[in-house]
Amino acid sequence: MDTVTSVPLGRRKHVRTWTTAWRPSLLAASLSPALSWLLSSPPALAYPPAVGILGKARNCTTCHASDGPWKEGANLIVDLLDSETGKSLREKDGSFLISAKPEQRRTVLVMLGWAKGDTAPFPHRNGWIFVDPALINRDHVGSKFPSGWEADLTMSCRLVGDAHKAHEGAKISVLPMTLRPTGAAKDADVEWQILITGGDAVKGDAKQGLVQNYFERKVRLKVEE
């Protein structure tokens, strides 16, 4: 029931006007502390959003060490696979190529981990971000993926434990990422920043407690004609 129906007719217009003005004021008052906290808080240092999203860290090593047992080599699994064919999108120079026609959706599998049979301990979790390095310092809280390209998983962290026939028996994480070049998309280069970790993190210290290694790959985005 409308609460103003019990008010004398001559006062109803005044009450309605006061109520309309009061509600936005109450909302602003309730949001003010949260807004103040956000504006006064120091830059975020958590991986992966600190790289250009909530902060301007150039890469993961701004906060994290890279002194773990996982090194470049045959046992390191860093791969992007076509979700339909299962084939790797790796080029001869070690970079990756993702191509699609304008407005076409292309899904790839983001695969990270360590091959079986090695003496190094298996990683426990993997974190990554796809970022246009030219946009890291831009003042914008949001995706730093190249303009004109849409992607539904530009950054993530995932526990190891997935399986895929491309690397049977390996300790890996696998997640799909779907991309779509809009009509405004152009060819672009993206940095794929990767952190493979084990151990247990200590709150407030990204180096203590974690065993971790940082890796980086180049991903080329191409708009097919």
56-75 tens-digit pLDDT? 666 676 677 778 888 888 89
Q: What is the pLDDT of residue 167?
A: 87
- Average pLDDT on 19-41 reads 40
Report which of residues 200 and 48 the model is more confident about: 200
- Average the pLDDT over 81-89 and give the result: 95
Please, are residues 48 and 154 in contact by the beta-carbon 8 Å criterion? no
Residue 130 has a pLDDT of 93
Give the whole-angstrom CA distance, residue 62 versus residue 45: 9
142: pLDDT confidence band, cut at 50, 70 and 90?
Answer: low
Name which residue leads in pLDDT, 214 or 38: 214
* Sheet hosting strand 210-223, strand order edge to edge: 96-100, 210-223, 188-199, 125-131, 155-159
Of the candidates 89, 97, 71, 98, the one whose C-alpha atom is nearest the C-alpha of residue 211 is 71
pLDDT at position 208 is 66
